[in-house]
Amino acid sequence: MFRLRVSRLVAGAGVRNLVGSELKKLGVSKCVLVTGPRTGSTSYCREVVKSVEAEGIEVSVWREVDREPDEDVFEVCLEFVRSEEPEAIVAFGGGSVLDTAKLVNACYSVGRGMKFFLSPSSQLARFLLKPLIAIPTTFGTGSETTCASVVKVGGVKKGIIHESMLPDTAILDWEIRAPKKVSASAGMDAIMHAFEAYTCLECEKVESGFYSGSNEVTDTLALKALELLSHLPDYVEKGEHSREVAVGSNVAGVALGNAGVHFGHAASYAIASLTERPHGECVASIGQALLEWIEENISRGRVENVRRALGASIDEMRRKVGLPSLSDMGLGVDDIPELVSRAMEVKRLVAMRPEIDEKAAKEIFERALSF
Ligand SMILES: [Fe+2]
């Protein structure tokens, strides 16, 4: 069996100006807009605020998401939201902003702290949260259409996943541009979402857990996403708008949020814990080695389809957009035991491709060091 969870989507050039009318449809009279200090000072953000005010909706802006969310960022944001008592949340920013807003909204709406959502027992219930409108300003994480929020707890990145956290509406506006380096890293993350969703355990073999495993729907979406994301190098290089990259990252997000991802993301958390590099860079640095391992041990046909859709290998894409390799990040053979042990700790993701055991993980990291 499999399930499909997807946010309502409004996509187009300039749709950031429709945030106000979307809130009005929901009967909202007051909202909080969560953003970051830089994104929050752009003209795009002012336009979003203007569209909300134009509908007579009160909006207070919180622009303090200045890094990947940890307990501190989360707590201060939750306190602000509680004091404002909004009827809806608008999240405007990259993955960190969206993830913070999603978890804050869950805690605010249910009246519980972050700990509650970390406990497996909370997963059994479904809660009715305040509506959340997610507007990504970088195209990659797919957070606008997934139930996950990645937060640092005690210095360790944890994926908190809850069906209730799926945003009500995703506003995908491809006129919004992020700096080149951010676009490159986010875009490679999206490519890895599609690749891993397409090569993760088949849904019939998934025994339990949040993700369904790969199936006809996610396979179709993942390949289409890769085809769209083949435009990433041009998008990064030319600095133009790209409908293909924006839609591709969203579609890859739907594939990831339903099929799941596997060792590449488990490895990326391990790499991030040693290097403090952005998520997209970390996950891209393991991509080609993982692709080759899958090709040799799981399915040649699937990898062939990935190459055909992308029109290149993952490593060619990584180099074209100017992201570092594992050794460029300063990692070497001595780091492999630590990387393997940290990656294998992310059991929920490792379980989505269980053939990758410690020995295989070591091989993949070793191969990644050769690129
Ligand atoms: Fe990712």
* Residues 238-265: tens digit of each pLDDT: 888 999 999 999 999 999 999 999 999 9
**What pLDDT is attached to residue 117?**
85
Strand extents, DSSP E, the chain: 8-11, 30-34, 58-62, 88-93, 132-136, 148-153, 156-161, 169-172
Q: Are 132 and 97 in contact (CB under 8 A)?
A: no
pLDDT band of 136, cuts 50, 70, 90:
very high
Q: Which CATH superfamily does the domain covering 180-368 fall into? A: Dehydroquinate synthase-like - alpha domain (1.20.1090.10)
pLDDT band of 157, cuts 50, 70, 90:
confident
**What pLDDT is attached to residue 67?**
80
Which contacts of 231-234 are long-range, i.e. CB under 8 A and separated by 24 or more positions? 232/184, 232/187, 232/188, 232/191, 232/317, 232/320, 232/321, 233/317, 233/320, 233/321
Q: Are 71 and 126 in contact (CB under 8 A)?
A: no
**What pLDDT is attached to residue 234?**
95
Report residue 22 as tokens.
Answer: 């979307």
Q: Please write the tens of the pLDDT for every residue from 167-204.
A: 999 999 999 999 999 999 999 999 999 999 999 999 99
Q: Which residues contact 215 (CB under 8 A, 6 or more apart)?
A: 2, 202, 203, 258, 259
**What pLDDT is attached to residue 114?**
86
Going from the Cα of 144 to the center of ligand 1, the distance in angstroms, rounded, reads 13
Going from the Cα of 127 to the center of ligand 1, the distance in angstroms, rounded, reads 25
Going from the Cα of 169 to the center of ligand 1, the distance in angstroms, rounded, reads 20
pLDDT band of 209, cuts 50, 70, 90:
confident
**What pLDDT is attached to residue 236?**
95
Q: Are 355 and 297 in contact (CB under 8 A)?
A: yes
> Does the structural domain 8-172 have CATH classification 2.30.29.30?
no
Answer whether residue 124 shows pLDDT above 80.
Answer: no
* Helices and strands of the chain, counted as H and E runs: 16, 8
Question: What are the residue boundaries of the structural domains of the chain, listed by start?
Answer: 8-172, 180-368
Going from the Cα of 186 to the center of ligand 1, the distance in angstroms, rounded, reads 8
Q: Among 117-126, 161-170, 228-237, 345-354, whose mean pLDDT is lowest?
A: 117-126
Overall average pLDDT of the 54-63 stretch: 97
Going from the Cα of 112 to the center of ligand 1, the distance in angstroms, rounded, reads 27
**What pLDDT is attached to residue 101?**
97
**What pLDDT is attached to residue 75?**
92
Percent of the chain topping pLDDT 90? 87
Going from the Cα of 190 to the center of ligand 1, the distance in angstroms, rounded, reads 7
Going from the Cα of 265 to the center of ligand 1, the distance in angstroms, rounded, reads 6
The pTM of the whole model exceeds 0.85: yes
**What pLDDT is attached to residue 155?**
79
Going from the Cα of 81 to the center of ligand 1, the distance in angstroms, rounded, reads 27
Going from the Cα of 204 to the center of ligand 1, the distance in angstroms, rounded, reads 24
**What pLDDT is attached to residue 115?**
84
pLDDT band of 208, cuts 50, 70, 90:
confident
**What pLDDT is attached to residue 272?**
93
Going from the Cα of 26 to the center of ligand 1, the distance in angstroms, rounded, reads 30
Distance CA 168, CA 102 (A): 10
Q: Please write the tens of the pLDDT for every residue from 12-47.
A: 999 999 999 999 999 999 999 999 999 999 999 999
Q: Please write the tens of the pLDDT for every residue from 258-316.
A: 999 999 999 999 999 999 999 999 999 999 999 999 999 999 999 999 999 999 999 99
